[in-house]
A and B are shown apart, each in its own frame.
Chain A
């Protein structure tokens, strides 16, 4: 396998982008990415694009053709990738494999979702759960994570204040990200006093409904070196799946696919959780960041909530998580989120993250992107050559 580098990143502003259609979201992110890479679009040989549900959100499938056409890439090999909210991470993995295998030199990994176009977002998102044996019986997507939260609280004594601190911290980071959907700080009181969605989760425990797109361009390390780019290498890639239904998993206070994907990625990279300087963790709900941080090995089981309260995961903490604002504050256009995580980490690793740039420039970063209630997960580990 060849070593693969990320040589360009691009993303749209995330938010309620009523005036921008799905196709132009993607085209904009792709154009920004190619400009950042300094690579002409004629060089791009292939694209993998994560999108959870163009069919339900905007009534459009067959997206790979349309999106690459509108991005000025008509004719290339293009594939749409779906793994619910992990679609972006899965697209990145496919693009990485195509470059690593030696098949192509310039491959675009993208993600896009247009969630604000009149569709019932709660209904669309619930299709990431088991339609016949979860959703039919009245459970919603926040409801599944609420059940994980209650199990975690019962088993480890995790509190609503710990959950709330995840949202407070991610909003503080998002306030420094000009592309974030919600660039505002919030307090514990805002989170704890918010309208209830599914107990114990309120509105501010949930990531928002977002339009947006993100793209990264991959190339072999030796090609990236010739271009004179800073070398951000993909050193580890892990992917795991699990049962789609939460109730079929033994421990309801855990998300085993995350731990398994992480184990595979760490093994490939030859690093462990203590080596990670910065991480983007899939905080679709506040409880998700807590459980996933434990699965990734950043904290012992049951300790991630206290770590959030203690500021360990804050921008100036020992283990900064979601410097972008995370899905909570930056926004969660589901198919794009996994790619947007890679964009953020690439910016942090190359010292280009603006006001939210970590004071001590990180060397190794981890992106964790998850589908459904944990039915799928990708973990990617990146390292910048100093």
Chain B
């Protein structure tokens, strides 16, 4: 990934920061300039809850080149405790350990080390709880 974009997205990737509309309270992840619910344009930064559950998942056997070394790996749609949803890998999980409804917590991990961009890329993954 190109460096300016990577730098710009650090708050959400490193700290799971969302944007809360000061007008109607809708929470967005990633943060948005315009509220999807009321059209409001003022947002305040909020930390998202770290716990959630798996809504659906898959095990990727044929990944793009930058994830080749990690295959097979599990990817899931996770719903956080406040209803915000995101897509992420489930770290250190054998495929049969992740099911719909599995409780997870969001953790900070290295995601890619694509040599083309000469920058290590970090972000969030889920980890099965308990």
Contacts and interface: CB of A to CB of B under 8 A. Distances in A.
Given A137-B88, A252-B55, A196 B61 contact: yes
B123 A147 contact: no
A252 B58 CA distance: 13
A133 B75 contact: no
Contacts of A154: 56, 100
A59 interface: no
A142 B87 CA distance: 14
Interface stretch (A93-101, A118-126, A329-337): A118-126
Nearest to A126: B64
Q: Could you say which of A138, A146, A198 has the most chain B C-beta atoms within 10 Å of its C-beta?
A: A138
Contact of A198 (B1, B58, B67): B58
Nearest to B13: A136
Interface in A122-140: 122-123, 126, 132-140
Given A137-B89, A246-B87, A150 B100 contact: yes
29 contacts: A122-B63, A122-B64, A123-B64, A126-B64, A132-B5, A132-B30, A135-B64, A136-B111, A136-B123, A137-B123, A137-B124, A137-B125, A138-B67, A138-B89, A138-B111, A140-B63, A142-B62, A147-B56, A147-B75, A149-B58, A150-B56, A151-B56, A151-B100, A196-B59, A199-B95, A246-B77, A246-B87, A247-B77, A247-B87
A247 to B, nearest CB: 4
Contacts, number: 97
B28 to A, nearest CB: 10
A245 interface: yes
> Number of contact residues on A: which range applies?
20 to 34
Given A132-B30, A247-B77, A252-B77, A139 B85 contact: no
Interface of B: 1, 5, 9, 30, 55-65, 67, 70, 73, 75-77, 85-89, 95, 100, 111-112, 121, 123-125
A154 B54 CA distance: 12
Contacts of B100: 150-151, 154
B69 to A, nearest CB: 12
Nearest to B85: A247
A164 B69 CA distance: 29
Given A120-B64, A137-B111, A150-B58, A143 B75 contact: yes
B62 A137 contact: no
A151 B54 CA distance: 11
Contacts of B30: 132-133
A135 B1 CA distance: 11
B86 A133 contact: yes
Contacts of A139: 58, 60, 75, 87
Nearest to B71: A138
Contacts of B62: 122, 140, 142, 197-198
B37 to A, nearest CB: 13
